[in-house]
Amino acid sequence: MKIITFQDIKKLGISPATCYEWVAQTIRDKDKYILPPKISLKPRDGVFCNVMPTIGGSVGGVKVVTRYPEREPSLDSKLLLMNADSGEFLALMDADFITAMRTGAVAAHSIRLLAKTDYSNIGIMGLGNTARAALLVLLEVEREKSFKIKLLRYKDQAESFAERFSEYKNVSFEVVDTPRDIVRGSDVVISAITYTEGDLCSDGDFPEGILVVPIHTRGFTNCDLFFDKVFADDEGHVCHFGNFKKFRSFAEVSDVVNGRAKGRESDRERILAYNIGLSIHDIFFASKIYEMLAHAGKPLREIDLESPNEKFWI
């Protein structure tokens, strides 16, 4: 079994546009995967351990992602990749790059699919790696558009975030002080806040036509009750939500992509997109990375667990 590190993956130079293409393919082909809902363990407030398995075609695996707020960074993930035909375990991988970039790419995909016509004003809160990945992918696949971005002030993160994108000429930034400032006047809101105890804005703060993408699902449960449409990447991952049966309209994003459900039908609709994060993206990314490293001919470290090789070993 190979060991694939964060640095091994980073050296491949995988582009944001490629991440978008991989995400678009897996969303389109979602029905080809065996995808149980993730198992989420929450030993204490603000801490989680999510276990995410899937099998698709000849590959499968499981990703484990944890959040410990006192850790730097707070999110960490590892992935075990397997050959689903033979049961051979192929690699143990760091999955931090995969998690951030596939999550950002999924958010960008939802924006392109569900935002109002000629959207340009975007509010972003929770300015960590996931939010950076989302904007990075969006700017790469929407090179002809110009954007005005509002960032929610938190420590010095807003200034650092804007500096990260200083090379892009089609985007300008404004730093604001409250979630209400983020939401009001925005065509799209991206929230990558990993933890908040309650809702962030009042119902009246959300303008007509807005698309809200709460990447970690926190802070917008009031929107469940009055937004015109709610979409998610998988029903099995959201059917336990307290307001699920109260959604005015619900469909999976893959059904919209494949023409089985309608997406946005009016620039006045308020839309909520719950991108819960699916292991189909993680495993697909991991399989592509494994192939790229194999083709690159770079020798990778191996680990031998010296497992039993006889039927009866007790």
In this prediction, residue 277 carries a pLDDT of 85
pLDDT tens digit string along 197-254? 889 999 999 999 999 999 888 899 999 999 999 999 999 999 999 999 999 999 999 9
Is 239 in a helix, a strand, or coil?
coil
120 and 239 together in one domain: yes
In this prediction, residue 29 carries a pLDDT of 97
Determine, yes or no, domain membership for 173: yes
31 and 139 together in one domain: no
pLDDT tens digit string along 22-65? 999 999 999 999 999 999 999 998 899 999 999 999 999 999 99
Domain that holds residue 133: 104-274
95 and 146 together in one domain: no
DSSP secondary structure string, 82-104?
EETTT--EEEEEE-HHHHHHHHH
Determine, yes or no, domain membership for 310: no
Which residues lie across from 229 on neighbouring strands? 271
The closest alpha carbon to 63, from 88, 39, 85, belongs to 39
Whether 10 shows a pLDDT value over 90: the answer reads yes
194 and 285 together in one domain: no
HSE toward the beta carbon, residue 129, CA cutoff 13 A:
13
88 and 112 together in one domain: no
Say which residue, 196 or 102, is predicted with more confidence: 102
For range 160-180, the mean pLDDT: 96
For 18, 26, 76, 280, 290, the CA distances from 35, given in Å and listed in that order, are 23, 12, 22, 7, 21
30 and 151 together in one domain: no
What tokens does 104 get? 């950002």
* Cβ atoms 64, 49 nearer than 8 A: yes
117 and 159 together in one domain: yes
pLDDT tens digit string along 108-130? 999 999 999 999 999 999 999 99
167 and 49 together in one domain: no
Determine, yes or no, domain membership for 312: no
What DSSP character marks residue 19?
H
* Overall number of domains in the chain: 2
Determine, yes or no, domain membership for 314: no
119 and 264 together in one domain: yes
Taking the whole predicted model, whether its pTM rises above 0.85 is answered as yes
In this prediction, residue 275 carries a pLDDT of 87
* 220 phi/psi in degrees, rounded to 5: -135, 30
77 and 94 together in one domain: yes
Determine, yes or no, domain membership for 292: yes
* Cβ atoms 282, 98 nearer than 8 A: yes
Determine, yes or no, domain membership for 141: yes
Determine, yes or no, domain membership for 211: yes
CATH number at 270 reads 3.40.50.720
Determine, yes or no, domain membership for 304: no
CATH number at 10 reads 3.30.1780.10
45 and 137 together in one domain: no
Burial class (CB in 10 A: 0-12, 13-18, 19+), 153: middle
7 and 129 together in one domain: no
